[in-house]
Structures are given as structure tokens and as C-alpha cells.
Amino acid sequence: MSGRVRRWWAVRPGEVGFLVVGLPAAVLGGAYALAALYAGVLLSLTVVGLPVTALALAGARRLGAPQRWLTGRLLGENVPAPGPAARPNGAVARIGAALADTVAWRTLGYLLLRLPLGVLGLAVVLLPLGCGWLLGFPLWLRLLEDGPHPATLLDVAAPLLGLVLFALTPPLIRLAADANRYLARHLLGPARAQQRVEDLEAARHTLLTTGAERLRRLERDLHDGTQARLVALAITLSLADDTLTDRTDPRLRTLLDRARAQTDDTIAELRTLTRGLRPTGLDGGLAEALPALAAGCAVPVALGVDLPERPDEVIEQTLWYCAAELLTNISKHSAASAARLTVTTAAARIRLTVHDDGRGGASAAPGHGLHGLAERLAAVDGTLRISSPPGGPTVVTAELPCRL
């Protein structure tokens, strides 16, 4: 309890600075919010009412940035910036998105509430001046009035009130600062739903990254450990077979040959398994892995890769699996004579396009082979588009972000 009491009387310089320096920003922001609301209401029945309101909301959203900076700098309350505003194509769609922007409306509400809170905060900071006047009230009264002045109850009550208010000044400053922290935390940051989405995206990124790291470790352990021991066992069996003579029991030679064949099959299956866990060709990036993948396709594939920088490891693996699945489908089902695979980057997104001149009919509907590919892409915010009319040609485009 004593620690809580000490906290209320321990005023930080930044809190006083915010209540003083933040007043001009509060006045300007409050004036902007009032003007925006007045213009929106006044013009609501005209054609320009909605565009003006949308523009005012966009401006209010931008005014939240300096308010967040001031709160973090002086009050130590680091408010995370909300995500960028939606910018759909078309003027009407943009106006509708601006009017439905909850971040802008919450920022406008912050600017309105910050104005009276800023005035009250400055009044609390200036409270010691009033306390000084109350403490010296009997003296000021006698200096300002001529003649004798008999002592009254006010002469005693005024200094006592000054002492009480002076003692309450630190807690009032802390209370005003905490009120500003609370207001910024709940109105300037991301909306609860948006914060939930960001938290889920961060958790997904951690899960996918951790999963990729574990698969890489498992693939390395299988390659360097289990597979190496199986190869050593195959060599030992081969050496044992070499030591057999013509007088050896034929059944023993048959058992050794069977053990060698089973060991070779196990090594081949293990290599296939490790390639499925993590493509070994990705060590040098997609620019090196995709040519090898295209060379293994039964149909001639023209390749074009334009990647200025390597994407995240999870994105890179997803692209590789997409390319492998699509080229496998071309080899097995398309009856195509030629194919083309291109990878390009634009606006922080990667686009993988596979084109073939086969019979067409590809689909991502449930029950079809490409449905699982679409689900894999959706896990990393990717999309799959298919154009495959009967008779062909087939164009499959996978688009996903460069970074999670």
C-alpha cells in the first residue's frame, strides 16, 4: 500500500511536460475535430458532404501519428500504430472505405476528448500558483485593503485549503497523465479486432518459422545420422558378401542379398522422405532450385525467374512446392507439348505463373488435385487463380507476399 501511495506522489518530469507542451497540440486537434464534424453535419445533405467527411476522417487519421509520438516520448506509453487504411480502386469505393474506417473515427474521438483533458491538465500544473495565493491570502487581503482587518474564519480556511491543494497537486498530475495514457491506449492504437488479427498473424509467423526450422533440423538429422548409418550397414553387408566362398551355404548368400536389397530400398525411401521434408535444392534459393525442377519435368519447360531478393524461408518453400506440384500435374495429366514457368516480384508480392498448351480442365474445387495447393497458399496469405477451359491452354497463377 505504501508503494502505491509513493507512486501517486512521484511525479515524472515527462508527465508535467506533456500536460504543458501537449496543450497546443490538443487545441489544434480539437479545433480540427470540431471543424470536421461541423462541416460534415452542415454538408451532409449536399453532394459534397460525404467526400468532405471522408477527407476529414483521412486527415484525422494522420493527426494520430504526432499524438502517438508525443504520448510515447513524454508519457512513456508506446501506442502501436494501426494498420494502413484500405485503398480500394475507384473514388466511390475509397470514400466508402474512409467513412467505414474505425481507426479514423476513434482518432477523431480522441482529438475531441483530448481538448478538455488538455485544458484540465494545464490547470492542474498551474494549481501551485493558486495554492501560493491561498497560502498568502491573509497577507494579500491586508495589503490590498486600507485600515484594520479583523481576523475571520476565511483567514484560517484559505491557507489550509492552499496546503491541501498543494499536497494534492502531485496525485492530480499523475491522474491527468494516466487519463491521457488511457485515452491514447484505447483510441489511438489498433482496434481490438485489428489487434487480434495482428496477434494471430504474429503467432502464425512464429508457428510457420518454427515448423520450418524443425523440419530443417529433422532433415539434417536423418541425412547425417540415420541415412549415414544405413549406408554404412549396406557397405558392411557388401563386405560380408565378398567374404563368402563357393562352399558357403547358398541360403546364407540369399539372406545377405535380401538384406542388401532391403537396405538399398530403405535408403532410397529415406532420401525421398527427406526431400519431402525440405527441398535440398533450396539451399541456393529459388533461382537455383527451379531450373533443376524444370529439368525433371517430362514436358519441355521455358523458365523465367526475376527475384531481386530472397523471400522468407516459408514463402520460398511454398513457392517451390507450388512449382513442383504444377509441373508434376503437367507431366501426368495435361498431355501438353510445352510449358512455361515464370516468377516475378511486384509491390512486395511474388507471382508464380505456369502455362501449358495441354487439354485443360484443371480445377481447384474440393476433390481436385489443386485444392490442396490453394489451401497451402491460403495459409501464407496467398491466392491461386486458374484459367483452364476444356481444350486448353491452362494458366495457373499463385500470388503470395514476399514476407509473412
Confidence of residue 304 (pLDDT cuts 50, 70, 90): confident
In 3D space, the residue among 226, 234, 227 whose CA is nearest the CA of residue 260 turns out to be: 234
Least confident of 79-93, 147-161, 377-391: 147-161
Average pLDDT over residues 290-313: 84
What local confidence, expressed as pLDDT, does residue 281 receive? 65
Confidence of residue 110 (pLDDT cuts 50, 70, 90): very high
Distances, alpha carbon 197 to alpha carbons 190, 200, 201, 270, 294, in Å? 10, 5, 6, 39, 38
Average pLDDT over residues 367-380: 77
Confidence of residue 116 (pLDDT cuts 50, 70, 90): very high
Residue positions counted in the chain = 404
What local confidence, expressed as pLDDT, does residue 151 receive? 57
Model confidence at 293: pLDDT above 50:
yes
Cell of 225: 545420422
What is the spatial distance between Cα 284 and Cα 353, in angstroms, rounded to a whole number?
A: 21
Domain extent listing, the chain: 2-187, 193-277, 284-401
pLDDT > 70: percent of the chain: 77
- What single letter denotes the amino acid at residue 152? T
CA dihedral 325, 327, 328, 334 (to 10 degrees): 120
| Residue position matching grid coordinates 500544473 | 125
pLDDT, one tens digit per residue, over 255-278 is: 777 887 888 878 777 776 666 556
What local confidence, expressed as pLDDT, does residue 58 receive? 87
Model confidence at 1: pLDDT above 50:
no
User: Alpha helix (H) ranges present in 188-249?
Assistant: 192-221, 227-242
What is the spatial distance between Cα 330 and Cα 354, in angstroms, rounded to a whole number?
A: 9
DSSP code string of 329-345: HIIIII--S-EEEEEEE
What is the spatial distance between Cα 387 and Cα 389, in angstroms, rounded to a whole number?
A: 6
CB 112 within 8 A of CB 33: yes
Beta bridge partners of 339: 301, 356
Fold of 284-401: Heat Shock Protein 90 (3.30.565)
- Phi then psi for residue 367, to 5 deg, are 100, -15
